[in-house]
Amino acid sequence: MIKINSINIHVPKTPSDQVFDSNDLDLINSKNIQLKSKNFYNIINNKNLKEIKCNWESSLLKKNYTNYTNSYFLLEIESEKDKYKGIICGISTDILKRKLVFPHENVSSIRVEKLKNYLKTVKIQAEPVVIATRYTKDIIIAINLASKNKPILSFDYKKIKYMIKKINIKNSINNFSSFFIVDGHHRLKSLNELSDQLKSDFQLLTLLTEISSVKSNNFIWKVYNPSSRLIKRLIQLNRSNSKPNLNSFWANFKNKYYVFDKSNLKTMSINYFEKWITSNGDIISHINPRAQTPIIHNSNTIIFNYPPISFNKIVKSNKNKLLPKKTTYLEPKIVTGLIISSLK
C-alpha cells in the first residue's frame, strides 16, 4: 500500500491578482493580457534562474503569500459544467523510485533536464502534479467532512471557483493501492532525477484526485512545412469527401481529408501513428486544445487526428506501454501560482 504525506504550501493573499492560466501564455507574452505586478508570472518570467529565486524570496518578504505547514488540504474547483475535489499532499520521491506511480506518456529528456536545473536553483514547485487513484470509502468520508470546513482561501477566476480547506487524513485511512499520473510527467521525472543527483528525499507537491473524475481530451497534432516524402505518402491514402469521424485516424492537408486504415497503419495505435508521421524526420507540434490563441491552418500544414483515449482505458491498459508525449490533455488543470511548495 502507498501512503501520502502532509506538506507545506504557500498560497497567494490576493489570488485573483497573483495566479495565471497557462493556457493564456501566448496572449500574456504578446501583452494582450495585462497582469498585476505581483502576479506569479512576473516572478518566474526570467531566463536567469537565480533572479527567479530572488524574485520569489522578495515576494515572501513582502508577505504576498500565506504559509501553511505540515497539513493536508482539500482543493475544490467548480465551473459551470464540472466539479472537482482533490487532496493536496506530498508524495515521497522514495515512493516514486519504487515505481508505484504509473506514467502514461513519454517525456522529453531535454525538458526534464531543464526542469531539474530549475528545481535545483529556484527550489520551488510552482503547481501540483495531478495524480489519480481510487478513493476508498474512508477517504470519501474525510473529503465530505472537509467540504463543510471554512476555506482558508476562496476566490473566482475566469468564471471558475477555487476553494482550499484543511482536511484530516488519519494514518488509519492513509492507504492507497496505486497512483496514475494525470498531469505533470516532466515535473515528476525532474524531481525524481534531482533526488537521485542530490541523494535527498523530496516531497512531490501533489493533487490527488479520483480516477473517475478525470476528463480526457486530445492535443492537436500539426506538422508545419512537411517534407516532400510525408506529403507523397499522405496523398496515397484514401480520400474522404467529408470530415471523418473524430474516433478515427485521419489527416487534413490543403482542406482535403485522408483516412488511415489497416492497409497503411500496421497497427491502429497512436504509437504507430506517431512513427508513421515522424519516420522521415518530420516534427509534430502539439497544440493545447484549451489554448486561447486561434489555431491558424495554412496551406503548408498537415493536421492529424487520432481517436480520443479515456483515462479509464489508460489505467486498464498495459502499465508499461507509454503513449507518445503530448497525446492526452487531461483535466482537472490548476491555475499556476495558486499552490506553491518550497523544496527542503
The predicted-structure confidence for 197-244, as pLDDT tens digits, reads as follows 999 999 999 999 999 898 887 778 999 999 999 999 999 999 998 988
Separation of alpha carbons 26 and 296, rounded Å: 14
Q: What is the mean pLDDT of residues 313-342?
A: 81
Core vs surface per residue 39-56: b (16+ CB within 10 A) or e:
bbbbbbeeeebeebbebb
Q: What are the residues facing 2 on neighbouring strands? A: 176
Stronger pLDDT, 343 or 316, i.e. the higher one: 343
- Dig out the grid coordinates for 180 from the structure: 496514475
Confidence check: pLDDT of 323 > 60: yes
How would residue 319 be classed by pLDDT, with cut points 50, 70 and 90?
low
Closest CA to 214 of 175, 249, 183: 183
Q: What is the mean pLDDT of residues 255-281?
A: 86
Q: What are the residues facing 240 on neighbouring strands? A: 257
- Dig out the grid coordinates for 31 from the structure: 501583452
pLDDT at position 71: 95
pLDDT at position 30: 78
The answer to whether the beta carbons of residues 164 and 153 sit under 8 Å apart is: yes
Alpha helices in the chain (DSSP H): 15-18, 25-29, 40-44, 49-61, 93-97, 109-122, 137-146, 185-198, 228-234, 270-278, 311-316
Which residues are within 8 A (CB) of 2 and not within 5 positions of it... i.e. 6 or more apart? 91, 95, 100, 175, 176, 177, 178, 179
The predicted-structure confidence for 157-172, as pLDDT tens digits, reads as follows 988 999 999 999 998 8
